[in-house]
Amino acid sequence: MLPLGSQHIEAEARRLLRDQIARSAWFRNGLSDRERSQRVEQEVATFWHLKAAQVQELLEERARPVSRSAILGKADSRAPLKSIRPGVSTGPLL
């Protein structure tokens, strides 16, 4: 697994929070686009750390190698697959 740098975690946490705020109705009442952007950036600067643990977990999850059984839906890859037509075996895909 690759080590996760704090700068990478912070950048991703800020991005996720910015996206969350952009999708919400926060700061839309009576503000210009410039004022809204400034307020959003202030919120991101203040609260990004609240997303850091979630982001670290997400990034660690992405970095984990995927097992063959996970790819195949946790089926035993050595067992023959059920055929679509009776009497015809398709065998393992991989």
Closest CA to 56 of 2, 92, 20, 93: 2
Question: How large is the average pLDDT for residues 82-86?
Answer: 51
Q: What is the pLDDT of residues 49-77, one digit of tens each?
A: 999 999 999 888 888 887 666 666 655 55
Q: Is the pLDDT of residue 16 over 90?
A: yes
User: What pLDDT was estimated at residue 68?
Assistant: 65
Beta strands in 1-94 (DSSP E): none
Q: pTM above 0.85?
A: no
Q: Is the pLDDT of residue 93 over 50?
A: no
State the pLDDT confidence band at 6, using cuts at 50, 70 and 90.
confident
For residue 74, give both structure tokens: 């946790």
Residues in contact with 55: Cβ distance below 8 Å, sequence separation at least 6, in sequence order: 9, 12, 13, 16
User: What pLDDT was estimated at residue 2?
Assistant: 40
User: What pLDDT was estimated at residue 1?
Assistant: 37
